[in-house]
């Protein structure tokens, strides 16, 4: 995308905001800049076209809902896809002050870490407290629609139906790859274990990318959560497993603090521990898809990672125990 600094100034001038400094931010998609102004700091994201701008529309509607639910997220200054001010759709949000969790987590003492994870648990529960009557994706915070990772099907009345489509989608990427022979046994495993999610699951809003780069702290306290681009309506346990694996699965005290905070607002469904492996395996498929699609751009030693993954998959298929202690901030 070719966007010049003059266009950035035009956008802010239309809002009667004086620009002091513009800094480009590296991103894999679209155009993102940090804009320092006389009224504070903002992030401006400019999209290629109206189709790409659907994400901006989604954030422009979700962030206000989250703020009303006491979730610390950026405030939306403006979303515009009219193409009247500039020739591209754009979204302007406020800056979240603080440092990324991955930058400070290893510097925190035990007391501050436990306090943070208790607070973090409550905030995630507040996100999950936003409920709907169906499963899928919502771009306006009200209506639930089809979901891209469910083969663009939906909305779904039952989570097990949507999750089946998600697994099928993830396995479809295995075709013609090093992992192709695993498609049938993996599909059979999920079919055999689908009874684990065959009950009345509440459709809840999920962030689904709570890696440590999307969580900010200021003075050891949670200051904000960003990047709800991939948010969808699903089962909260999928996010809980992923959050646990990425942050504190080999840290019992932090885990206890997190769930103490979380369950103060939302109680865990009966059988949560049994479903952890189910969701861990489902998430592992995403990791495999990334290895297949991005190769060395995603992982340094592709061949070694393929061997590690294959062994892990086989252990799950064979019913062996697995470890939830990866603590990978990008998981």
**Tokens, residue 308:** 């590690």
**What pLDDT is stored for residue 329 in this prediction?**
38
Q: Which of 116, 127, 140, 121 minimizes the C-alpha distance to 69?
A: 127
Contact at 8 Å (CB) between 236 and 67? no
**What pLDDT is stored for residue 325 in this prediction?**
53
* Low-confidence residues in the chain, pLDDT < 70: 1-3, 28-29, 324-331
Q: Where are the domains of the chain?
A: 5-94, 99-317
CA distance 225 to 212: 10
Is the omega angle on the peptide bond into residue 155 within 30 degrees of 0, that is, cis?
yes
CA distance 127 to 254: 20
- Give the gyration radius of the chain's Cα atoms: 21
CA distance 73 to 70: 9
Q: How many residues does the chain have?
A: 331
Q: Helix (H, G, I), strand (E, B), or coil: what is residue 10?
A: helix
**What pLDDT is stored for residue 327 in this prediction?**
43
Burial 32-55 (b: 16+ CB within 10 A, else e): ebebeeeeeebbbbbbeeeebbeb
Q: Which of 43, 37, 36, 40 minimizes the C-alpha distance to 59?
A: 43
- Which strand (E) or helix (H) includes residue 44? strand 40-46
CA distance 199 to 187: 20
pTM: 0.93
Residue 215: CB partners within 8 Å, gap ≥ 6? Answer: 100, 101, 120, 222, 224, 225
Fold for domain 99-317?
Answer: Aminoglycoside 3'-phosphotransferase; Chain: A, domain 2 (3.90.1200)
CA distance 210 to 297: 21
Kindly report the CATH class assigned to 5-94. Answer: alpha beta
pLDDT in tens, 139-192: 999 999 999 999 999 999 999 999 999 999 999 999 999 999 999 999 999 999
CA distance 203 to 129: 10
Given the structure tokens 């340094």, which residue do they identify? 300
Q: Comparing 5-94 with 99-317, is the CATH topology the same?
A: no
**What pLDDT is stored for residue 5 in this prediction?**
84
């Amino acid at each position: 995308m070719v966007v010049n600094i003059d266009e950035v100034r035009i956008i802010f001038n239309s809002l009667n905001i004086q620009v002091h400094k513009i800094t480009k931010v590296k991103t894999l998609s679209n155009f993102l800049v940090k804009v320092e102004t006389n009224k504070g700091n903002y992030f401006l994201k400019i999209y290629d076209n109206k189709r790409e701008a659907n994400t901006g529309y989604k954030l422009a509607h979700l962030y206000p809902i989250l703020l009303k639910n006491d979730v610390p997220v950026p405030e939306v200054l403006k979303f515009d896809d009219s193409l009247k001010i500039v020739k591209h759709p754009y979204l302007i949000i406020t800056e979240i002050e603080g440092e990324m969790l991955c930058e400070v987590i290893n510097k925190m003492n035990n007391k501050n870490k436990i306090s943070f994870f208790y607070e973090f648990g409550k905030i995630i529960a507040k996100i999950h407290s936003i409920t709907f009557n169906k499963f899928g994706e919502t771009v306006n915070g009200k209506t639930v629609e089809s979901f891209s990772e469910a083969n663009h099907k939906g909305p779904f009345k039952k989570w097990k139906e949507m999750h089946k489509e998600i697994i099928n989608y993830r396995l479809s990427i295995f075709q013609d790859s090093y992992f192709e022979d695993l498609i049938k046994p993996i599909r059979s495993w999920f079919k055999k274990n689908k009874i684990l999610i065959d009950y009345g699951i509440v459709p809840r809003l999920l962030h689904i990318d709570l890696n440590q780069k999307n969580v900010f702290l200021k003075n050891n306290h949670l200051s904000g959560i960003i990047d709800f681009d991939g948010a969808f309506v699903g089962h909260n346990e999928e996010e809980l497993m992923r959050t646990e694996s990425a942050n504190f699965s080999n840290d019992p005290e932090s885990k206890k603090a997190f769930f103490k905070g979380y369950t103060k607002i939302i109680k865990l469904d009966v059988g949560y521990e049994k479903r952890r492996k189910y969701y861990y395996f489902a998430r592992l498929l995403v990791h495999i898809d990334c290895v297949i699609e991005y190769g060395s751009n995603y992982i340094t030693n592709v061949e070694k990672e393929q061997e590690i993954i294959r062994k892990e998959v086989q252990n799950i298929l064979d019913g062996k125990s697995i470890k939830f202690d990866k603590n990978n901030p990008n998981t």
